[in-house]
């Protein structure tokens, strides 16, 4: 799905993968879950929302917990193959037009006993399609979503695939089957709804209770479906308000309705900024059977503090920000395993095209080519090789620059795409060439504001290397780093952003959210009709067409001087030997993907 995970989506592989039949996660006769076992996990950012489909909620810090609290129709294993989840099955029932049917298992229930069914998935479609929005955006200056008035419907999310479902879905009489019809073929239909940490989204009957005042669960579901089917603006305005922010909280909520879930774990404690505790829910009726009774996620943004917590026995597992010091410290601890690999996240720089700054044509007399030359000059000065050599190679001596906007180094299409996309020539740290481009543009010492997480030591180092090179080329660099950088994305107060994207899956349509005009992750206001047409083709592409289309897409991004990828994040999964079956996967939710297999000695 085309959503953001900040140090959060670019695709890591090319072809959409089909759902493969298998035993649902944790299925079988193992009753070890009754043992009084516990795992403590260290994480760098706190939970903030049960709704991972909104712009605010769609972060890995939320996904790792909602994934354990909610079942799904499919999930990625550590080989990036999509496995069948515990909620039911997904099948294509028609190719032309494309129709996809979701069938819920009889034992799929919310924790209050209400069935999980078509109403929940229909609400997710309404919330992520943008088909019901009456405005293109409804945000405050700081990027937070505004409360809709009675005449406004705005769901704070959009995905390219969901938007292709124009008609109200077919729903069986018992609500256990829902069939979506796509208006066009869609490459990633297998994983569009109900996959991974999102599951079916938030419970429709709870949304109805909060938004519409309907207490009866079935009547609430019916009211949600009626509002969607009738396109009832007044009702949908209230529904979208609840969906957008009603499931956000940063400490244990007094309202237990916000904790309604359909998976094996329930939230029992949440101390703001400190920790969240999940415990097995004895009311759970599904097939997942975790072996660990209690999981506590403890928060600390300092990676060395996490290593200290591992050493002290306060934390059993962690995936901290990887640095050479962190790796060295972890390797010195007895009884601890350190798995090092490329992670799902890649570092990149993006330009802002619409803030009247140095890269915006509006600040260059409306001259598109002049603005582009300034962007090209900044890219030319980007010391990507130097960054990899000084910051990443101490962790991975085989590390290379990432030269693709859409592919991980080593993936099947990477070599073919990077051979012709022009990234390595456009951003090669050539200060003289950068100076020349600025001279050709006729721009003298433009000031560039760079926004990044200034509490992150690796980003501090990156910023300094970029600053030194860019200033030699003739730019004036202004540091506008901010610990709250994520809330500033798209607010126009910076000219260059430096952060990471983490993939949620492997579909080619993930690119849509980053590069399409007005799309959710397109924070810099980039817009090109040629790009939009390429993305249109990718949405409906077959596997044998995708490499050529991705080449076309990446060439266009280079031609437009959109920005540049820098490197694939090195990932360290560090865990005490007392915890068994810890494995990470290079998409969200990383090492949590097989939580039901964890065992504690």
Q: Hey, what domains does the chain have and what are their CATH numbers?
A: 71-248 (3.90.76.10), 346-569 (3.10.105.10)
Contact 52, 197 (CB under 8 A): yes
Contacts for 133 with CB less than 8 Å, ≥ 6 apart: 153, 154, 155, 240
- Work out the percent of the chain whose per-residue pLDDT is above 90: 75
Q: Kindly indicate the confidence band of residue 22, based on its pLDDT and cuts at 50, 70 and 90.
A: very low
Maximal CA-CA distance, the chain = 73
Nearest to 121 by CA among 180, 187, 68: 180
Predicted pLDDT of residue 438: 97
Predicted pLDDT of residue 37: 96
Q: Kindly indicate the confidence band of residue 11, based on its pLDDT and cuts at 50, 70 and 90.
A: very low
- Mean pLDDT to the nearest integer, 146-165: 93
In angstroms, the CA 177 to CA 179 distance is 7
Q: Kindly indicate the confidence band of residue 122, based on its pLDDT and cuts at 50, 70 and 90.
A: very high
Q: Mean pLDDT across the chain, nearest whole number?
A: 91
Q: Kindly indicate the confidence band of residue 31, based on its pLDDT and cuts at 50, 70 and 90.
A: low
Contacts for 509 with CB less than 8 Å, ≥ 6 apart: 2, 160, 161, 186, 187, 188, 538, 539
Q: Kindly indicate the confidence band of residue 24, based on its pLDDT and cuts at 50, 70 and 90.
A: low
In angstroms, the CA 63 to CA 48 distance is 10
- Mean pLDDT to the nearest integer, 23-27: 56
DSSP state of 392: I
- Mean pLDDT to the nearest integer, 135-143: 82
User: Is the pLDDT reported for residue 291 higher than 80?
Assistant: yes
Each residue's pLDDT tens digit, 340-351: 887 778 999 999
Q: Kindly indicate the confidence band of residue 55, based on its pLDDT and cuts at 50, 70 and 90.
A: confident
User: Is the pLDDT reported for residue 398 higher than 90?
Assistant: no
List helix spans (H) across 179-298: 204-212, 217-230, 233-245
Predicted pLDDT of residue 59: 84
- Mean pLDDT to the nearest integer, 28-57: 82
Contact 207, 242 (CB under 8 A): yes
Lowest mean pLDDT among 282-291, 557-566, 584-593: 584-593
- Mean pLDDT to the nearest integer, 296-304: 93
User: Is the pLDDT reported for residue 556 higher than 80?
Assistant: yes
Predicted pLDDT of residue 21: 34
Predicted pLDDT of residue 79: 82
In angstroms, the CA 538 to CA 513 distance is 12
Q: What is the pTM of this model?
A: 0.82
User: Is the pLDDT reported for residue 14 higher than 60?
Assistant: no
Beta strands in 352-456 (DSSP E): 447-451
Contacts for 443 with CB less than 8 Å, ≥ 6 apart: 358, 364, 370, 373, 374
The Cα angle at residue 396 between residues 415 and 14, in degrees rounded to 5: 30
**What is the signed CA dihedral for 505, 395, 386, 566, rounded to 10 degrees?**
0
Q: Kindly indicate the confidence band of residue 7, based on its pLDDT and cuts at 50, 70 and 90.
A: very low
Lowest mean pLDDT among 23-27, 69-73, 87-91, 357-361: 23-27
CB-side neighbour CA atoms (13 Å) of 580: 8
- Mean pLDDT to the nearest integer, 81-102: 95
Q: Kindly indicate the confidence band of residue 81, based on its pLDDT and cuts at 50, 70 and 90.
A: confident
CA distances from 200 to 53, 91, 593 (A): 10, 16, 17
Task: Tell me the Cα Rg of the chain.
Answer: 24
**106, exposed or middle or buried, with CB in 10 Å at 0-12, 13-18, 19+?**
exposed
Which phi and psi (to 5°) does residue 232 adopt?
-75, 100
Q: Kindly indicate the confidence band of residue 1, based on its pLDDT and cuts at 50, 70 and 90.
A: very low
In angstroms, the CA 363 to CA 352 distance is 12
Contacts for 121 with CB less than 8 Å, ≥ 6 apart: 102, 178, 193, 194, 200, 201
Contacts for 244 with CB less than 8 Å, ≥ 6 apart: 54, 145, 154, 155, 156
Contacts for 135 with CB less than 8 Å, ≥ 6 apart: 152, 153, 154
DSSP state of 196: G
CB-side neighbour CA atoms (13 Å) of 272: 5
User: Is the pLDDT reported for residue 410 higher than 80?
Assistant: no
User: Is the pLDDT reported for residue 68 higher than 80?
Assistant: yes
Bridge-based pairing of strands 336-351 and 496-502 is: antiparallel
Nearest to 252 by CA among 273, 274, 268: 268
Higher-scoring residue by pLDDT: 39, 410: 39
Beta bridge partner(s), residue 478: 449
- Mean pLDDT to the nearest integer, 47-62: 91
CA 106 to chain centre: 30
| Most confident segment among 202-216, 384-398, 534-548 | 202-216
In angstroms, the CA 177 to CA 469 distance is 58
* Terminal Cα-to-Cα distance of the chain (whole angstroms): 37
- Mean pLDDT to the nearest integer, 92-102: 96
In angstroms, the CA 249 to CA 254 distance is 10
Higher-scoring residue by pLDDT: 181, 490: 181
- Mean pLDDT to the nearest integer, 247-266: 98
Q: Kindly indicate the confidence band of residue 423, based on its pLDDT and cuts at 50, 70 and 90.
A: very high
- Work out the percent of the chain whose per-residue pLDDT is above 70: 94
């Amino acid at each position: 799905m085309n959503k953001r995970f900040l140090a959060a989506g670019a695709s890591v592989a090319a072809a959409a993968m089909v759902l493969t039949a298998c035993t649902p996660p944790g299925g079988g006769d193992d009753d070890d879950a009754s043992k009084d076992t516990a795992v403590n996990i260290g994480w760098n950012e706190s939970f903030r929302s049960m709704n991972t489909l909104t712009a605010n909620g769609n972060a890995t810090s939320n996904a790792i917990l909602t994934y354990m609290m909610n079942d799904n129709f499919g999930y990625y294993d550590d080989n990036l193959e999509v496995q069948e989840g515990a909620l039911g099955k997904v099948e294509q029932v028609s190719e032309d037009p494309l129709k996809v049917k979701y069938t819920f298992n009889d034992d799929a229930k919310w924790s209050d006993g209400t069935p999980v069914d078509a109403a929940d998935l229909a609400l997710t479609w309404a919330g992520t399609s943008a088909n019901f929005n009456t405005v293109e955006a409804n945000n405050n200056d700081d990027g937070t979503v505004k409360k809709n008035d009675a005449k406004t419907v705005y769901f704070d999310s959009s995905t390219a695939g969901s938007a292709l479902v124009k008609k109200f879905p077919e729903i069986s009489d018992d609500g256990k089957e829902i069939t979506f019809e796509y208006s066009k073929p869609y490459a990633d239909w297998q994983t569009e709804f109900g996959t991974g940490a999102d599951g079916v989204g938030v419970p429709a009957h709870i949304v109805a209770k909060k938004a519409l005042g309907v207490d009866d669960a079935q009547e609430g579901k019916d009211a949600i479906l009626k509002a969607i089917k009738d396109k009832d603006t007044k009702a949908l305005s209230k529904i979208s308000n609840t969906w957008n922010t009603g499931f956000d909280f940063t400490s244990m909520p007094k309202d237990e309705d916000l904790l309604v879930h359909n998976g094996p774990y329930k939230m029992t404690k949440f101390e703001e900024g400190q920790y969240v505790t999940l415990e097995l829910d004895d009311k759970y009726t599904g097939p997942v059977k975790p072996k660990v009774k209690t999981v506590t996620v403890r928060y600390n943004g300092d990676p060395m503090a996490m290593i200290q917590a591992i050493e002290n026995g306060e934390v059993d597992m962690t995936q901290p920000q990887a640095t050479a010091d962190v790796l060295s410290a972890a390797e010195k601890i007895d009884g601890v395993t350190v798995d090092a690999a490329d992670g799902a996240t890649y570092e990149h720089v993006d330009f802002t095209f619409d803030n009247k700054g140095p890269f915006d044509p509006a600040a260059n007399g409306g001259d598109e080519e002049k603005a582009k030359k300034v962007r090209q000059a900044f890219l030319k000065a980007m010391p990507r090789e130097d960054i990899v050599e000084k910051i990443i190679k101490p962790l991975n001596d085989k590390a290379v620059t990432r030269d693709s906007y859409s592919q991980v180094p080593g993936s099947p299409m990477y070599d073919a795409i990077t051979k012709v996309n022009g990234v390595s020539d456009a951003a090669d740290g050539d200060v003289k060439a950068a100076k020349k481009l600025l001279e050709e543009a006729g721009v003298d010492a433009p000031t560039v504001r760079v926004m990044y997480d200034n509490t992150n030591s690796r980003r501090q180092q990156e910023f300094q290397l970029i600053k030194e090179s860019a200033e030699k080329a003739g730019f004036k660099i202004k540091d506008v780093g901010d610990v709250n950088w994520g809330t500033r994305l798209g607010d126009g107060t910076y000219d260059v952003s430096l952060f990471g994207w983490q993939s949620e899956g492997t579909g080619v349509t993930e690119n849509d959210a980053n590069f399409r005009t007005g799309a959710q992750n397109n924070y810099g206001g980039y817009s090109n009709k040629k790009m939009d047409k390429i993305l249109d083709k990718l949405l409906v592409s077959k596997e044998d067409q995708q490499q050529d289309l991705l080449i076309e897409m990446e060439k266009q991004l280079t031609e437009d001087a959109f920005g540049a990828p820098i490197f694939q994040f090195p990932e360290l999964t560090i865990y005490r030997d007392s915890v068994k079956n810890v494995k990470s996967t290079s998409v969200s939710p990383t090492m949590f993907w097989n939580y039901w297999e964890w065992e504690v000695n």
